[in-house]
Amino acid sequence: MLKNYFKIAIAVLRRHKFFTFISLFGISFTLTILLVLTAFIDKVVGDNYPDKKRDRSLYVSRLSEEGKGTMSSGMVSFYFLDHYVRSLKTPTDIAISSVFSGTNTYVNDKKIAVNYKYTNAAYWDIMEYDFVEGKAFDKQAVANAEKVAVISEDMKAEYFGDVPSVVGKYIEADNVKYRVIGVVKNVPITSYMTYSDIYLPYTVAKDGNFKDKGYRGGYYGILLAASKSDLSKMHNEYEQMVQKLPMEAKQYNKMYSHADPYIASYVDTGNENQSGVVLVLTILSVFVVIFMLLPTLNLVNINITRIMERSSEIGVRKAFGASSKTLVYQFIVENIILTLLGGLIGLVLSFIVIQVINSMNLIANLELSINFMVLFIGLLVCLVFGLLSGVYPAWRMSKLNVVTALKAQ
């Protein structure tokens, strides 16, 4: 039976080439956009390099102060993390790093854009970067404010060219020369807490802002627990510590800062009354619903038109005893076959688009890919798409009167 339905579906698709083209284009284009978006989200959320201990880490990225009619929010200071957060008993260690900053340097009269950030020594104990050569700087190098640097693979290639090793060579950033002691595998810029071209000890920062004793600054903190079971305890201890802090300014009477899991921290809005996770999920859900709804409605209209053109066929089949249930089943199967064909085209287009995006390097160091989960989502979208766009037209078809259907031609 399914084999016959498949033959009929192919014959119908070949008979109405224009409608078939419009339908396949709408399905494949929609699926391509959704698959590329899903691949991007999967890479941002699922890729844990170099943050491989994420399952037992909490992240501190923001502190907000609120008063009557006023509110201020921003990143925390090095002093806040090193003085107050370090006093917590549950974390086994705290990685501290600054937001990356941009500057320009020159090699053989060629301008190179460079992003650099500062870290403490514990950062390299908690993060698990893949070192291509050399090693990270240690506590002694940080304490002595040694001008040493760990650089990315891309920075090595761009600054030094095709050379076997750069350990011991010097690289210039922000008009200061640093001795390269290590080279690490690239980190995508979307992992903004760990991304940089050059990593430097925080003690060599020219502005010396790590000495400022205010709560706010330009740093992130990653608190590492001994095990996943300690995360709740570590979170509660952090919350209690923040509640005991004195207010910095008289116009504020409330202070908020949280040690959150990676995703919650990544999309933190700084607004205590608006969850970043809920906001992002809402935006994505609305986008997906709207993006699927428009082509679905378009396909429904095309399917209804196709039904009207096949009214005589439907009338003949009803006259020879075909039940409404059989006709509905046939049409839904035809529609699912159509959407699966569109889905296969969409998958091919998705692979092509992803390869183009990767080759153009639109997002630094971000390599998109379609994994099995993304592929499963794509096939599921196809099936849902086929059912949504086929049920109503099939129901309309089943209600056609035999005499009316036969007279339509």
Q: Is the pLDDT of residue 107 over 70?
A: yes
pLDDT band at residue 392 under the 50/70/90 scheme? low
Q: Mean pLDDT across the stretch 148-165?
A: 94
Q: Mean pLDDT across the stretch 301-323?
A: 64
pLDDT band at residue 399 under the 50/70/90 scheme? low
317-341 pLDDT per residue, tens: 666 666 667 767 777 777 777 777 8
Nearest to 251 by CA among 91, 72, 400: 72
Nearest to 201 by CA among 156, 131, 141: 141
Q: Mean pLDDT across the stretch 187-193?
A: 90
Beta pairing, strands 176-184 & 170-173: antiparallel
316 burial type by CB count under 10 A (0-12 exposed, 13-18 middle, 19+ buried): middle
**93: region left, alpha or beta (phi > 0 left; psi from -120 to 50 alpha):** beta
For the record, the structure tokens of 255 come out as 């202070």
C-alpha 61/C-alpha 73 separation (Å) is 11
C-alpha 360/C-alpha 367 separation (Å) is 11
C-alpha 65/C-alpha 128 separation (Å) is 34
pLDDT of residue 121: 97
Q: Which residues of 73-87 are buried (b: 16+ CB within 10 A; e: fewer)?
A: bebbbbbbbbebbee
C-alpha 94/C-alpha 123 separation (Å) is 7
pLDDT band at residue 150 under the 50/70/90 scheme? very high
**Contact yes or no for 385/296 (Cβ under 8 A):** yes
C-alpha 159/C-alpha 105 separation (Å) is 9
Q: Is the pLDDT of residue 159 over 70?
A: yes
DSSP label at 77? P
46-74 pLDDT per residue, tens: 788 999 999 999 999 899 888 887 878 88
**Contact yes or no for 336/383 (Cβ under 8 A):** yes
